[in-house]
């Protein structure tokens, strides 16, 4: 790990809840005793690459141990090594080598973000969410984040701006169907034209430069898109109620009495918990 990054973030963030005497130990733990890192910025894992890693682990074992921390409930929470943990499960392992460290919540987020960003394992939306976590949870400015990550301040700001886009457009960016450069061109026009402009970019396969030029006139040359009816107070209340009951992000989409309810989860453990709650209902 880049020592400069670790020192930079530690220096900027007062770590009052860190243990006075850091501890580290080599050990082997049952996979079932390790829970995912709640601060893991990476949400999507390439299935093919994960399978390849599982094959390698099955053949050669886990060369680099995972990093975990002990929880208050006598279990262990992952700090770094999510791909290795998932691949080990695929390979049929029941135990994995670990380094046990006593860390604060801030250090846990620091290590998870830096590991992924430095290895370039995050897609643009995951990276934006990681920077947003640093800004909101630690109250860091974009300039401070840029210093920590050895990037330009504009790069950090532009990355976080991607989160202003709709979920549908963010999904296109995460799946690399739309580049961050194209997305910045989309952000330069009014939000009501975003979806139509993205469709235009994809249909005509515009380069980033072409998209930037077209964004200057797209609103004037396009028909005003139909505005969506505002979501009723009842639907918003139902969304909040379901979100609180199921502990999952909930979206209700309704049109003339027909629609769908979307429940989101970010890990197999969250899916199992959600399924259990639904089964009990």
Tell me which residues are annotated as active site.
Answer: 82
- Helices 153-161 and 180-187 cross at an angle (nearest 10°) of 70
User: Which parts of 138-263 fold into alpha helices (H)?
Assistant: 142-149, 153-161, 167-174, 180-187, 194-204, 208-214, 218-221, 233-246
Which H or E run includes 91? none
Provide the token pair at 270: 């969250």
What is the gyration radius of the CA atoms in the chain, in angstroms? 22
Contact 51, 90 (CB under 8 A): yes
Contact 192, 219 (CB under 8 A): no
Contact 180, 189 (CB under 8 A): no
For residues 117 and 278, what is the distance between their CA atoms, to the nearest angstrom? 35
- 8-state DSSP, 222: S
Q: The dihedral of CA 113, 114, 117, 120: what is its sign?
A: negative
Q: For residue 81, how many other CB atoms are within 10 A of its CB?
A: 24
Task: Reduce the secondary structure of 111-127 to three states and give it as a string.
Answer: HHHHHHHHCCCCCHHHH
Which H or E run includes 251? strand 250-255
């Amino acid at each position: 790990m880049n020592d400069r990054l670790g020192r930079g973030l530690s220096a900027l963030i007062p770590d009052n809840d860190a243990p006075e005497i850091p501890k580290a130990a080599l050990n082997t733990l049952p996979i079932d005793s390790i829970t995912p890192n709640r601060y893991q910025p990476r949400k999507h894992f390439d299935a093919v690459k994960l399978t390849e890693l599982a094959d390698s682990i099955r053949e050669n074992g886990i060369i680099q141990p995972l990093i975990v921390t002990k929880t208050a409930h006598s279990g262990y929470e992952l700090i770094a090594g999510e791909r290795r943990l998932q691949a080990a499960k695929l390979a049929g392992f029941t135990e994995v080598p670990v380094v046990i460290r006593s860390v604060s919540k801030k250090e846990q987020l620091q290590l998870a973000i830096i590991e992924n960003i430095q290895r370039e394992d995050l897609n643009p939306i995951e990276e934006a969410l990681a920077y947003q976590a640093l800004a909101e949870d630690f109250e860091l400015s974009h300039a401070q984040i840029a210093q920590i990550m050895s990037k330009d301040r504009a790069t950090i700001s532009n990355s976080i701006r991607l989160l202003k886009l709709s979920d549908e457009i963010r999904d296109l960016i995460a799946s690399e169907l739309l580049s961050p450069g194209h997305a910045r061109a989309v952000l330069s026009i009014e939000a009501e034209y975003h979806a139509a402009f993205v469709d235009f970019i994809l249909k005509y396969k515009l380069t980033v430069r072409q998209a930037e030029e077209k964004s200057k006139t797209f609103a004037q040359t396009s028909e005003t898109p139909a505005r969506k009816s505002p979501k009723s107070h009842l639907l918003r209340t139902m969304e909040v109620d379901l979100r609180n009951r199921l502990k999952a992000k909930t979206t209700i989409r309704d049109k003339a009495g027909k629609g769908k309810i979307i429940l989101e989860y970010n890990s197999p453990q969250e899916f199992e918990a959600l399924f259990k709650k639904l089964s009990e209902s």
